[in-house]
């Protein structure tokens, strides 16, 4: 299997909405973003699939060395072999990859966030930095687009957190800020035991309002000059915001089920942005 086939299979197998946004890119940019996304999946899978934290930490340390080696011209892993030919052309930096690893490391080191400021730092590492790298690959020309990419990354990650509350609880993780749990009188053990309540719904409405605000702020930050190039990110915004609205319509039943969109619906939402420019 070639490195290019490896990253293509990795991206497709994830079932992520990102995959549908990539389909409309020219071949060189599609190859670059597919490899970049596959890297993010690899390091994220270390945390989600390795049950022993010490083993996961060792694997993340290996990835740090692999990134350094790759940027020195000696990539070993097929993901890095697929990514490195695009690094110079699209401004992919070792710093960005190390920050993504830092975000995954946070998942090993803590399972709670005291307030939104602490959670925002985590979101920056696992999503904002990814948005920054993706924006460059998509064809960023305006420096202001970086601020848009970071804000959109935050919006997407907040949507992920809302969607995955129940799955994260099974892993003993709660990404909802502790002080906001207290504000709405939702106990940590209720989340971990996946107990739905009116208090939980009120808490989640608060989270959803924050995510919607982040989407609005991101779209307002996107310079007109880069709107066409950044259509893949706008596709992601459309898909994820539609998902968020589905969760809201379902009364935030995220503790005992995973709300998702069908592949056909994701493809249609992506096509609508591509063809009509509508979110």
Tell me the C-alpha to C-alpha distance, in Å, between residue 135 and each of 16, 36, 270. Answer: 18, 12, 17
Contacts of 251 (CB under 8 A, 6+ apart): 201
pLDDT band at 278 (very low <50, low <70, confident <90, very high): low
For the cut 80, the answer to whether the pLDDT of residue 16 exceeds it is no
Percent of the chain with pLDDT over 90: 86
* pLDDT (tens digit per residue) in 37-62: 999 999 999 988 888 889 999 999 99
C-alpha closest to that of 236 among 89, 93, 48, 23: 23
* pLDDT (tens digit per residue) in 159-206: 999 999 999 999 999 999 999 999 999 999 999 999 999 999 999 999
CA–CA dist 181, 167 (Å, integer): 18
- Token look-up 């608060």 returns 206
Residue 251 Ramachandran class (φ > 0 left, ψ -120 to 50 alpha, else beta): left
Query: Are 138 and 229 within 8 A, CB to CB?
Result: yes
pLDDT for position 19: 80
C-alpha closest to that of 36 among 78, 82, 74, 68: 82
C-alpha closest to that of 131 among 155, 114, 113, 109: 155
Average pLDDT for the chain: 94
CA–CA dist 47, 158 (Å, integer): 19
Residue-by-residue DSSP string for 177-197: -HHHHHHTT--HHHHHTT---
Q: Is the pTM of the predicted complex or chain greater than 0.75?
A: yes
Tokens in use for 26? 């020219």
Find the helix or strand (DSSP H, E) in which 112 lies.
none
- CA 228 from chain center: how many Å? 21
Query: Are 203 and 186 within 8 A, CB to CB?
Result: yes
CB atoms within 10 A of CB 146: 16
């Amino acid at each position: 299997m070639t490195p290019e086939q490896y990253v293509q299979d990795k991206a497709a197998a994830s079932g992520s909405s990102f995959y549908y946004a990539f389909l409309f890119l020219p071949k060189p940019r599609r190859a670059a973003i597919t490899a970049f996304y596959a890297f993010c999946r690899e390091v994220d899978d270390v945390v989600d699939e390795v049950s022993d934290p010490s083993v996961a930490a060792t694997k993340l340390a290996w990835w740090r060395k692999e990134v350094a080696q790759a940027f020195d011209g000696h990539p070993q892993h097929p993901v890095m072999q697929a990514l490195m030919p695009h690094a110079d052309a699209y401004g992919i930096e070792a710093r960005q990859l190390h920050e993504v690893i830092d975000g995954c490391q946070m998942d090993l080191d803590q399972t709670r966030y005291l307030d939104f400021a602490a959670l925002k730092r985590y979101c920056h590492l696992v999503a904002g930095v990814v948005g920054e790298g993706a924006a460059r690959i998509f064809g960023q020309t305006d420096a202001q687009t970086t601020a848009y990419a970071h804000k959109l990354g935050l919006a997407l990650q907040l949507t992920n957190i809302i969607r995955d509350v129940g799955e994260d609880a099974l892993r003993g993780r709660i990404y909802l800020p502790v002080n906001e749990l207290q504000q709405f009188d939702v106990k940590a053990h209720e989340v971990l035991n996946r107990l739905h309540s009116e208090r939980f719904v009120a808490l989640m409405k608060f989270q959803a309002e924050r995510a919607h605000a982040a989407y609005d702020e991101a779209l307002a930050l996107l310079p007109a000059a880069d709107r066409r190039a950044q259509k893949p990110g706008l596709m992601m915004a459309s898909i994820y915001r539609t998902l968020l609205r589905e969760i809201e319509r379902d009364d935030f039943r995220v503790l005992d089920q995973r709300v998702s969109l069908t592949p056909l619906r994701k493809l249609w939402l992506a096509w609508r942005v591509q063809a009509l420019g509508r979110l």
